[in-house]
Chain A
Amino acid sequence: MARLRNKNRKVFSKPSLKKKAAPTVDHVTGDKIPKSFVFSRGKMPGSLRQLQMDLRKLMLPFTALNLKEKKRNNLRDFLNVAGPMGVTHFLMLSKTDAAPYLKVARTPQGPTVTFKINQYSLASDITQSQLRPRCPPDLYKNPPLIVLSGFGSGEQHLKLTTIMFQNMFPAIDINTVKLSSCQRIVLLNYNKDTKLIDFRHYSIRLQPVGVSRRIRKFVQNHQVPDLRSLQDVSDFITKAGYGSESEGDEEAATVTLPCDLGRVNRATSKSAVKLQEIGPRMTLQLLKVEEGLCSGTIIFSEYGTANDKKTPGKENQKNQGDEENEDDDGDDDDEQEDDDEASE
């Protein structure tokens, strides 16, 4: 007897994986999507290597996560690769005895901004210090938002820094952006008194306002609650729970979403924005702005006397050791007024 074939049987076919070419141009805004390389110059101790990895994750998805660098690679090699791949920014970490340094540069001939990292904490340190660390699976699929605060609109070097950071991340079109894709935020806060820039990286979470904790958890997790001690379902819903201490802050942070996000946040009702820190935490000090890529004239320098001492020959050298040493020499001298330098 012939086997009866089920004609409605669906044939399972593996969806063919097409490799999508990485977008170089944002199809909505038409601008070029900025891409970055994060690498280190010279041998780095373990924790700085982790910091480099954290920075790479931060710049995802438009960066090379598994960038391999060899000892003999110098800046020129990276420049040569950057051109065809459409890489626009370099983030370079380096270390001397004084401190680790971070250089942000625009390829191919753009300005270079040098920061001294006064303090840093790794992403793993931060998650360890938290009670409930949070990492949703697609956190790094979309680029982060960036918020710059305290820079003011005055001095030129600060302006240049803000522009550089703004251009490092792709632009957002408010008309078409999906709020579900904005999941991370990078904050750069400038403190005028200490001249330090705080660098923070947060993950965004939306929580509905006015819903008791139990109901919210129930809807989110779909875990059946324990109703043993209750007489009636209405007890479960109306039971007054303890308010969390951050509810006061939520007042200021409520938004109305244009559409539903996830299970819990509905379009018309209010939701609160909650941030939780992920990723590295750095305290940066702006040291130097150069016109070229790690070379060229110095537009701004924190330590003016070192600037005067330099000869043009030395400036064109890509030798970082020299520059760092001179910065250290500048430490001994008194700090000069920044305004003079900025106005040059």
Chain B
Amino acid sequence: MVEETQVRDFGNRMNKRKSGHKKGGNKARKKQKQFPGMGERVKIDPRVKKFLRKKARDYNSDDEDTEEGLAKGVEDDNLLPEYVIAEDVGGEEAEELGNEEDSDEEGEGTLPGITKLGEGSRAFRNAFKSVIKKGASEDPLGPVLSGHKKLVAEKLAEEEVERKAKGDAKKEKKLVAEKGHVKPANFLDTHERFLISVATKGVVKLFNAVNKAQVAQKGLNPLRSKDAKVINKRKKDAFYGELRRAPSASSTVKVNTSEGDAEGGTPSWAPLRDNYMLTNPKMKDWDKKLDSGVEDDIGGMSDDSSSDED
């Protein structure tokens, strides 16, 4: 409170000084006071006035304001009650704007302009309000000047052309990447049917061969040596017979029998045979004489792989 009184005194002194200076200010004040629709006016204690004025000064402390800050004491004085109490937003803005305009006008010191302040600020207020109400406009260019509009339109056109060129290049790239990729038809056309029939024939042949071999073998126990011989014989005959029945014309089915030697008596389980994992012909006589540097390794069958190909 002490502060306030001091401020008040100071402000009072300032007030007196100011009121002497500005005559137009008084008129403006009067005009503004009588201006309708600006909200209710309440008589305020001058102490409170000073306090509020100080607050407003702090609030309005821009560069422009600080220059004329003190000089504006009268205006602030007028404005403050309206600023704080007025409910009409437009009025408040008008006051502030009116304030700025006022200060501009004052710089020049023309009296007639001041009398028109009320209408000027009202017009500005209306314009501002309508702009705010409109919000964002639909036009992508926005409310711009016509010259700028042309530039922007040109730029957009350029971008369109660029995009098109890029799009074409991309499409071409895609075409090249997908070259050869064909989507199959929904139905089976004749060629496909033919291929399926070929494959079916192969499968049927194989299954029949298997059938023959396995059914014939059912009765015999593969571990008995007598039976084993019979099995072997049958195997060979049946297999070759089946495959020969397909003459050199159409198809070969990949079937291998497990026969190793031409002589009978090879056991059907691989490790029992003599040449188990010794398909390398060099390795056949491993116990007879050591050859140089032949690896007997599962992985190291690289040599015989090429010999197998021939």
Binding site for B on A (CB under 8 A): 24-32, 45-48, 83-86, 88, 95, 97-100, 106-111, 117-122, 125-126, 129, 145-150, 152-153, 162-163, 166-167, 169, 171-177, 179, 182, 185, 187, 189, 198, 200, 202, 204, 249, 252-259, 273-275, 277, 281
Contact = CB atoms under 8 A, between A and B. Distances in A.
Contacts of A111: 309
B298 A25 contact: yes
Given A185-B202, A256-B211, A172 B182 contact: no
Contacts of A121: 181-184
Contact of B299 (A84, A110, A162, A176): A84
* CB-based closest 3 A-B pairs: A45-B177, A171-B256, A30-B270
A32 B275 CA distance: 13
Given A172-B256, A174-B213, A126 B198 contact: no
Interface string B234-275: 010001000000001011111111101000000011110101
Interface in B69-92: none
B289 interface: no
B61 interface: no
Contact of B199 (A83, A109, A176, A185): A185
Interface of B: 176-186, 192, 195-204, 206-211, 213-215, 217-218, 231, 235, 239, 248, 250-258, 260, 268-271, 273, 275-277, 279, 298-302, 305-306, 308-309
Given A189-B198, A253-B200, A258-B214, A175 B184 contact: no
B209 A27 contact: no
Contacts of B300: 83
A28 B252 CA distance: 22
B255 to A, nearest CB: 5
B257 A257 contact: no
Given A173-B258, A174-B213, A257-B211, A45 B178 contact: yes
B211 A120 contact: no
B225 to A, nearest CB: 17
A149 B202 contact: yes
B270 A109 contact: no
B179 A99 contact: yes
A147 B203 contact: yes
B176 to A, nearest CB: 6
A202 B252 CA distance: 17
Nearest to B256: A171
A313 B164 CA distance: 46
Contacts of B239: 174
A249 B184 contact: no
A24 B277 CA distance: 11
B211 A187 contact: no
Nearest to A45: B177
Contacts of A273: 200, 203-204, 207
B178 A126 contact: no
